[in-house]
Amino acid sequence: MATTKTGASLDRGTLDTLLRRRLFYTPSFEIYGGVSGLYDYGPPGCSLQQNIVDTWRKHFVLEEDMLEVDCTMLTPHDVLKTSGHVDKFADWMCKDPKSGEIFRADHLVEEVLEARLKGDKEARGEKVVEEEDEDKKKRKKKVKEIKVVKLDEAVKKEYEETLARIDNYDGAELGQLIIKHNITNPATGGALEPPVAFNLMFSTSIGPSSNLPGYLRPETAQGQFLTFAKLLEFNNLRMPFASASIGKSFRNEISPRSGLLRVREFLMAEIEHYVDPKEKKHPRFKEVADTVTLKFLPRGIQEQGKTTTVDKTIGEAVKEGMVDNETLGYFLARIHLFLHELGVDQTKVRFRQHMPNEMAHYAADCWDAELLTSYGWIECVGCADRSAYDLTVHMQKTGQPLLVRENLEVPRVWEEWDVDVDKKWLGPRFRGDAKKVEEAVTKIPQQEREKLAGLLKNGEKVMVKVEGLGVVELEKVIIEKRQKTQNVREYTPNVIEPSFGIGRILYSLIEHIYWTRPDSAERGVLSFPPRIAPTKILIVPLSSNSEFTPIVTALSHKIRRAGISNRVDDSSATIGKRYSRNDELGTPFGITVDFQTVKDGSVTLRERDGMKQIRGSQEEVVDVVKGILEGVATWEEALKKFGESKGQELDEE
Amino acid sequence: MATTKTGASLDRGTLDTLLRRRLFYTPSFEIYGGVSGLYDYGPPGCSLQQNIVDTWRKHFVLEEDMLEVDCTMLTPHDVLKTSGHVDKFADWMCKDPKSGEIFRADHLVEEVLEARLKGDKEARGEKVVEEEDEDKKKRKKKVKEIKVVKLDEAVKKEYEETLARIDNYDGAELGQLIIKHNITNPATGGALEPPVAFNLMFSTSIGPSSNLPGYLRPETAQGQFLTFAKLLEFNNLRMPFASASIGKSFRNEISPRSGLLRVREFLMAEIEHYVDPKEKKHPRFKEVADTVTLKFLPRGIQEQGKTTTVDKTIGEAVKEGMVDNETLGYFLARIHLFLHELGVDQTKVRFRQHMPNEMAHYAADCWDAELLTSYGWIECVGCADRSAYDLTVHMQKTGQPLLVRENLEVPRVWEEWDVDVDKKWLGPRFRGDAKKVEEAVTKIPQQEREKLAGLLKNGEKVMVKVEGLGVVELEKVIIEKRQKTQNVREYTPNVIEPSFGIGRILYSLIEHIYWTRPDSAERGVLSFPPRIAPTKILIVPLSSNSEFTPIVTALSHKIRRAGISNRVDDSSATIGKRYSRNDELGTPFGITVDFQTVKDGSVTLRERDGMKQIRGSQEEVVDVVKGILEGVATWEEALKKFGESKGQELDEE
């Protein structure tokens, strides 16, 4: 059961209405009927998004001297073919050939089985919890009619087990489930074709001749990888280092749902931190090792079918090997601190480790920061060790060196068996096949060479198997152990990738800081931390009296000059109504200009959450807000200093 | 001839090499061979772009309380069909059917005629100025061989006139020019097909069933227009107001050229300021009317074939009607102030009015802020009065009221002739055609009604023409003059649209503030104003002495805490080389940590442009930079206060 900031039960419908009414977001192209999975941010949503991005940039890019880049979204086919997206970035869909309707296969199986289980419950007279989710309700309506039929115990159990594993089936398995459970088009009962893969990238064509196919990027990462060599040089060839990028990515969902949580166009912030695969330590790990405690949901616990989290410092988690390495651990801690700074409810965050079957085959370890919302636990940040996979495949494809060359302070010295075949003998003897023989010689492993050296010493023949030629004798050959020296080490760095879905964080944060005044469920409040709030100060003239106008204009100007965003509400609504409206916008402070202001310039300052007010000069009041925004003062201190002002009961209507 | 900041001739090749070496930008997907018209920004370019966007947001959005929105780039077909982009957003292209090559028709004609004129010059033994432009050079190579042939005087004149008008030809005219001047594929001599329109939008398909065609938006404006009604309500129904949006837009150029100035994916910042068409005054116009002087290139001067600008205050320009209205004038002045704040060279800005044939048919007036670069005068900001066009077409298409309803303080009262036909007579007399008759009656103009009333009074017949029925008599009819009252006025607002190409501004700015040290053309400097510079401070330890390391780390941390971006360069290059590198990055200040620092904590602060240094405590030095960034202090004041420090001639190598 989802809860508000104050622990009351969260009514998502009411919150959603509030967010649309206050224009945090709105379906795109609504007057044209809308397009599912596309949303616009209105002024408060846009400002909130901007504040989250600014905080992110300060917390990660500036704090760690990351190299921020801005790569294009348009991406040619070849790049995404190499990265594997053309072949693997897909969901399974089923078509009803009669009606032409298309279903996302896993969602369809889920909905039908859930509906049947619900019908079973009703048949048994058990209480059916009403679906809170508007979105789901709408989709459920399509399920013709829930048959109130009791299910066999075995069938029921099978359904439940299938639902628990619904994210893990591939296309063939989903096809089998559809046949086995006789799943059809829920609206018409029409038979479905077997699931086929649908690539989730938006495709387009670059240039006029249609011969350069391209896609809208599914992640910002690939552009960063392709710039690796230039960034390394920009960084004076120093390792480790990180690049970062903030920008839109795209995913052509088959049937988007869950509001802002699953959309077709979304803002991402991604970091690619390059490390030496042999040395995944992090110089700043000690700053977080003992001080940051996370709620972990590691693989082992999930394998037991449980979801109980364990609290550990990140230092312990790395030490005992639960988290693979220091750099990964450092970023998990930094992600935690970032979410904390945004105002995310710390009891509603967990770090869940990916199960082996969830991870890409190349990933060494992967953890998701999940936030608890009314949609369940939502993956908002992924933090993966992508190993050397991406740089390797791009290097193989392009032949460009996406490598680090490191001068070794102490040259590496070792001994090795060399096999030298006399070229003057080799050429005439094998002619066109000489190269094949040479290659075969190169491939003889060290152990084998040692053995061959022994044979040679004993005057025996040295035989080698050559592809296409069979076993041949090497007549003129020297096999010796020699000393080798290497001054430069070459390696492909590994990548630790923290990847943030800004829209998901934004929405989950709103659910965490939303609450309603105890006296009325209709008085919603969004308690953003002041630094994150879309607007910082609302200026409210007591009435439309013309004496207030020049004071309000000058005050607004003064506050803006101090770098603090503010809005004036001089509408004819009551003061109480105007403050309620701004509670919904999450504006942390309100300044009222009243008749006392006309006399002595003083104003009242109201704090959103406690609704208490102080009275002071305009300069004093602006300084209070500035101090709180800069983190050097608190509202409690201001209350103590100025005393609560009870002159006007402005919140009473 | 393009010039640097100091008036020397600008070598674009050298500047371009610098910008790529310092990773301001780089061709996207370069290791895959690149895609023309797509560029990535590296760390300094990304940071510069961010600072320009931040300045824009403060200067426009915050200063004017604009409603910022973030709309999706994916846009369904219907929206762009209504806006006219599906039918009209196109360039003309010609195909060589043999080779399959495609040419942008106007560019092809331009290149071939220019090449012929060059051949003529060579034949006459005149000096041919070498083409500076790498990009153009490359394309010119494709022009098989410039024939060194003298041209007829009349032909020469015709070529020159055609080139002067090259932007104004439509497809048919370009086709005629190609035939008339015998223009073929320059590389092969192959004949070309007639020009056809190529739509410049990138198309894609939204969702799995391919039945929702869409495009990547060509401008942010349409998303803003569609949200108009919601934004008006958010603004408490107050007019005028403006929305604003910063985001990427797309244009599928046939053959992109001119580097960052003509790309396929670009960042735009657009404002849609909604005004009452009857009242295009602006409340803050008086703040700029007499104080802001612009260089205007109005229509009249252009019609004379001249490009001399006239200097006028914006107050004068509006008063004499050269600029259509106050709101348009206010924004021109604000655009000027914005460009000034960025550091654009004021002698290289002009405001050019669109010629009637350049404007969209619905535009009332349009001015471009053009910046002078080595590519010529470049349109960087457009400022158009789009009239009520967009809101009107979207309203007609969707039936949604994109309107302002204004309560009239004094109700509008007027007299009007009404024609009432007795329905009891009408129905039985005309049956199924009754509605047609009613419609015909509604359409009778006022003047005609007055005439009919006269006839009726004289006892004559009242005849009306009805479509499909011919002329019929209205038997039971009353025609009277009656008093009407209207309390609410409804109107479609007009839109003033300042639209900024951020990439174009960024590149032009770089050309304006680039110069080379007098002693060496290789020592390039980018003199960004400190607030716009990608990084503010470079910290340089004198050598790799380990005593410096903790001081440098602590200092960097301290500066970051003060909110100032900084980078450390502890590479082994000489101090002079390190400062040269940062001159190229445009970093305005450098702090050197030397042995004196180890003794007493003091450091030197170097200013980029003058290369003078002061010495002070770390706190003092950071305060100097902070003061300059906040606009409350100057470098000259600091020099006076601390005195020039000449202890070490660090810039000598």
Q: What per-residue confidence (pLDDT) applies to B553?
A: 93
Higher-confidence residue: A434 or A270? A270
Element (H, E) at A505: helix A502-513
A590 forms bridges with which residues in the sheet?
A538, A606
By C-alpha distance, which of B645, B589, B264, B52 is closest to A76?
Answer: B264
Mean pLDDT of A166-190: 89
On the question of pLDDT at A244 being above 70, the answer is yes
Q: What pLDDT was estimated at residue A282? A: 95
Contact B379, B362 (CB under 8 A): no
Q: What's the rounded mean pLDDT across residues A582-598? A: 95
- Give the whole-angstrom CA distance, residue A593 versus residue A549: 9
3-class DSSP state for residue A433? helix
Distance from CA of B249 to the nearest CA of A (A): 11
The answer to whether A315 faces chain B, any CB pair under 8 Å, is no
Question: What pLDDT is stored for residue A139 in this prediction?
Answer: 54
More confidently predicted of B635 and B575 = B635
pLDDT tops 50 at residue A551: yes
DSSP B544: S
DSSP characters over A70-87: B--SEEEHHHHHHTTHHH
Q: Could B69 and A46 be called an inter-chain contact, meaning their C-beta atoms sit closer than 8 Å? A: yes
Lowest-pLDDT range of A207-211, A419-423, A585-589: A207-211
Please name the residues in contact with A457: beta carbons below 8 A apart, sequence gap of 6 or more: none
Percent of chain B clearing pLDDT 70 (strictly above):
96
Residues of B with Cβ-Cβ distance to A47 under 8 angstroms: 68
Inter-chain touch B206–A209, beta carbons under 8 Å: no
Across the range B528-546, mean pLDDT stands at 95
Distance CA B323, CA B318 (A): 5
Mutation test of the interface with chain B: which of A206, A502, A557, choosing the one with the most B Cβ atoms within 10 A?
A206
CB contact under 8 A, B70 and A31: no
Judge: B63–A560 Cβ closer than 8 Å, yes or no.
Answer: yes
Six-digit token string for B34: 């690149």
What is the 3-state composition of chain A as percent helix, strand, coil, each rounded to the nearest 5? 40, 25, 35
Q: Confirm or reject contact between A248 and chain B (CB < 8 A).
A: yes
Q: For residue A368, give the nearest of A177, A217, A497 by alpha carbon.
A: A497
Compute the Cα dihedral for B73, B77, B83, B86 and give only its sign: positive
Distance CA A164, CA A311 (A): 25
Contacts of B212 in chain A (CB under 8 A): 35
A286 interfaces chain B, CB cutoff of 8 Å: no
Question: Does A229 lie at the interface with B, CB-CB under 8 angstroms?
Answer: yes
Confidence of residue B142 (pLDDT cuts 50, 70, 90): low
Q: Would an 8 Å CB–CB cutoff place A231 in contact with chain B?
A: yes
Task: Point out the least confidently predicted range of A506-520, B128-142, B227-241.
Answer: B128-142
Question: Is A32 in the B-facing interface, judged by CB distances under 8 Å?
Answer: yes
Q: Mutating which of B80, B204, B210, B215 best tests the A interface, going by the most A Cβ atoms within 10 A?
A: B204
Q: Quick check: A35 contacting B, CB < 8 Å?
A: yes
* A281 interface with B at CB cutoff 8 Å: no
B571 touches chain A (CB under 8 A): yes
To the nearest whole number, what is the mean pLDDT of chain A?
91
Q: pLDDT band at B652, cuts 50/70/90?
A: very low
Q: Are B239 and B489 in contact (CB under 8 A)?
A: no
The half-sphere exposure of B500 on its side-chain side, counting CA atoms within 13 A, is: 28
Distance from CA of B436 to the nearest CA of A (A): 31
- Maximum separation of any 2 CA atoms in chain A, in Å: 115
Whether chain B has a CB inside 8 Å of the CB on A67: the answer is yes
DSSP string, A45-72: HHHHHHHHHHHHIIIIIITTT-EE-B--
Distance between CA atoms of residues B5 and B511, nearest Å:
8
Three-state helix/strand/coil letters over B228-245: HHHHHHHCCCCCCEEEEE
Is there a contact between A565 and B248 if contact means CB atoms under 8 Å apart?
Answer: no
Helix axes A618-630, A548-561, angle to 10 degrees: 30
pLDDT confidence of residue A649: 46
Q: What element of type H or E holds B67?
A: strand B67-68
* pLDDT over threshold 70, residue A450: yes
Mark yes or no for CB contact A42/B230 under 8 Å: yes
Q: Tell if the CB–CB gap between B43 and A236 is shorter than 8 Å.
A: no
CB-based contact (8 Å) between A28 and chain B?
yes
Measure CB to CB from residue A23 to each of B41, B47, B234 and give the nearest one. Answer: B234
How many residues does the structure list for chain A? 653
CA of A4 vs chain B CAs: smallest distance (Å) = 26
Lowest model confidence (mean pLDDT) among A247-251, A478-482, B347-351:
A478-482
The token duo for B86 is: 């599906």
Give contacts of B 110-149 with A, CB under 8 A.
none
> Rounded to whole angstroms, how far apart are CA atoms B420 and B416?
13
Torsion sign over Cα A71, A75, A76, A80: positive
**DSSP secondary structure code for residue A522 in this structure:** T
Residue A529 has pLDDT above 70, yes or no: yes
B456 to chain A, closest Cα gap in Å: 48
Is the Cβ of B23 closer than 8 Å to some Cβ of chain A?
Answer: yes
- Beta-bridge partner residues of B379: B370
> Nearest CB to B40: which of A72, A216, A565?
A72
Q: Looking at CA atoms only, how far is residue B352 from chain A in angstroms?
A: 31
Q: Give the nearest chain A residue to B53 (CA atoms).
A: A50
Q: Do A28 and B250 touch (CB under 8 A)?
A: no
Write down the pLDDT at residue A651.
43
- Confidence bin at B138 (pLDDT 50/70/90): low
Residue B413, pLDDT > 50, answer yes
The yes-or-no verdict on residue B362 having pLDDT over 80 is no
Q: Which residues of chain A does B40 touch, with a Cβ-Cβ cutoff of 8 Å?
A: 69-72, 223, 227
- Cα A175-A178-A179 angle, rounded to 5 deg: 90
User: pLDDT digits over A89-136, tens only?
Assistant: 999 999 999 988 889 999 899 989 988 988 888 888 887 665 545 555
Residue among A204, A402, A565 minimizing CB distance to B203: A204
Closest listed residue to residue A480, CA positions, set A454, A459, A453? A453
B567 → closest Cβ in A28, A35, A65: A65
Which residue of chain A is at minimal alpha-carbon distance from B249?
A73
B93 contacts on A by Cβ (under 8 Å): 208
Instruction: Say yes or no to pLDDT of B133 above 70.
Output: no
DSSP letter assigned to residue A168: G
ipTM for the assembly:
0.88
Q: Hey, which residues does A70 pair with through a beta bridge?
A: B41
A28, B72: Cβ pair inside 8 Å? Answer: yes
pLDDT at residue A363, as a whole number: 82
* Residue B519 predicted with pLDDT over 90: no
Check CB contact of B198 with chain A, cutoff 8 Å. Answer: yes
- For residue A145, how far is the Cα from the chain centroid? 37
Least confident of A140-149, A515-524, B416-425, B484-493: A140-149
DSSP alpha helix (H) spans, A562-647: 575-585, 595-600, 618-630, 635-642
Lowest-confidence pick of A216-220, A264-268, A443-447, B309-313: A443-447
Give the chain A residue whose CA is nearest to the CA of B211: A100
- Using a CB-CB distance cutoff of 8 angstroms, which residues of chain A are in contact with residue B43? 67-69, 231, 234
**Of the partner residues B62, B72, B229, the one whose CB lies closest to the CB of residue A265:** B72
Interatomic CA distance for residues B94 and B96, integer angstroms:
7
Closest CA–CA distance from residue B266 to any residue of chain A (Å):
9
Q: Which of A96, A85, A94, A76 is nearest to A200 (CA)?
A: A85
Q: Is B490 on the interface with A (CB under 8 A)?
A: no
Interchain CB distance below 8 Å, A223 and B28: yes
The CA distance from A463 to A448, in Å, is 11
Mean pLDDT of the B14-34 span: 96
Hey, what are A643's tokens?
């005393």
Using CB atoms within 10 Å of the CB of residue B241, give its burial: 0 to 12 exposed, 13 to 18 middle, 19+ buried: buried
Instruction: Give how far B92 is from chain A: nearest CA, Å.
Output: 11
| A100 to chain B: closest CA residue | B209
> What is the sign of the dihedral through the CA atoms of A74, A80, A81 and A85?
negative
Burial (CB < 10 A; 0-12, 13-18, 19+), residue A443, is: exposed
| Residue B210 predicted with pLDDT over 80 | no
For A441, the enclosing helix (H) or strand (E) is helix A434-442
| Residue B653, pLDDT score | 38
More confidently predicted of B27 and A139: B27
With an 8 Å Cβ cutoff, is B456 touching chain A? no
CA trace torsion B326, B329, B335, B340 (10° rounding): -120
Query: Does residue B361 carry a pLDDT above 80?
Result: no
Mean pLDDT of B429-437: 88
Instruction: Please compute the mean of the pLDDT values over residues B97-125 and round it to a whole number.
Output: 88
Q: Would you say residue A206 has pLDDT above 80?
A: yes
Write the pLDDT tens digit of every residue in A356-383.
877 777 788 999 999 999 999 999 999 9
Q: Do A29 and B75 touch (CB under 8 A)?
A: yes
Confirm or reject contact between A569 and chain B (CB < 8 A): yes
Contact A386, A324 (CB under 8 A): no
Query: A140 pLDDT exceeds 60?
Result: no
The answer to whether A367 and A324 are in contact (CB under 8 A) is no
- Give the 3-state secondary structure of residue A526: strand
The count of C-alpha atoms lying within 13 angstroms of the C-alpha of A253, restricted to the half-sphere facing its C-beta, is 19
Query: A365 and chain B: CB distance < 8 Å anywhere?
Result: no
H-helix or E-strand spanning residue B593? strand B589-593
